[in-house]
Amino acid sequence: MSTTAILFPGQGSQTPEMRDLVADLRPDLLEQVAEIVGEDPFAKADEGTNYAQPAIFCASLAGWESLGRPDGDFMAGHSLGELAALVAAGALQERDGLELVSLRGRLMQESGEKAGDGGMLALVGKGAADHAAELADGHGLSVANDNSPQQVVLSGARDALPGAAAAAEELGLRAIDLPVSGAFHSPMMRDAVPEFEKAVKNVKISEPRVKVLSAVTAAPFDDIAAQLTAALTNPVRWRETLLALHELGAERFVEVGPGRVLTGLVKRTLRDVELVSA
């Protein structure tokens, strides 16, 4: 049997039908997330990260449930998906994971609103990953998401984005201003760190049943609390994480949903692997 990596998606993967999946397979999660967030986050998942993150977390666990809760040989999550992966692997209790992802979404939303001038710019096209660092450094931005060889996201002060976009277009890349409330995965999220760090240090963390790779280090988690906290201000090294999984022997990649974003990124990054979506 092929060595399998189970992948848990991040923000931007939300779909209109994901609430129905949770209602069918994990109605208990609907009750818990509404209690923790203060309202049903699914109806507002497109309005802010404070709603999107807990909704996608619940839908991801429901998607995992639909496949029979497979462990696979490895797990990994994109941004907030790391919390779902750690819950699935038994490193975090489910209720703790839900509370952490809800807090994370709220803190990131508030941090972005407090800063007031942060934004994100997606760069798409051949060579995007090769040019990401020079474009970021040249315009005072950070590489927030290294998603695939053809897709990266820059993050930082909103008034720096037009110059970076123009420079990217001169290189033949397509630049897309993302509709977000802040400069996620950059130093501009530092106000979110203290409260989240305190919360994650106060939950029980166990040894995961399978290796879970951190998208901060592109290697198996070795300090879960520290690396989950670092993920707020550090880039999502997803391309490198996929390459690391493949080097560890993964030949089959299963995205548990919602959406098919990660499946597309695997397809653009790796060759001759099997792709499965929940």
Distance (Å, whole) CA 133 – CA 152: 10
Distance (Å, whole) CA 135 – CA 102: 33
Distance (Å, whole) CA 246 – CA 270: 8
| Pairing relationship of beta strands 219-220 and 74-77 according to DSSP bridges | unpaired
* Catalytic residue (choose from 78, 131, 185, 246): 185
For residue 246, indicate whether it is catalytic. no
Q: Which of 57, 64, 13 is nearest to 264 (CA)?
A: 13
For residue 131, indicate whether it is catalytic. no
Report, in angstroms and rounded to the nearest whole number, the Rg of the chain calculated over CA atoms.
18
With the C-alpha atoms ordered 198, 181, 183, 112, is the resulting torsion angle positive or negative? negative
Distance (Å, whole) CA 124 – CA 149: 9
Tokens for 211, please give them: 């290796």
* Catalytic residue (choose from 13, 60, 79, 148): 79
Distance (Å, whole) CA 2 – CA 274: 9
Tokens for 61, please give them: 């666990």
Does residue 154 sit in helix, strand or coil? strand
Active site residues: 79, 185
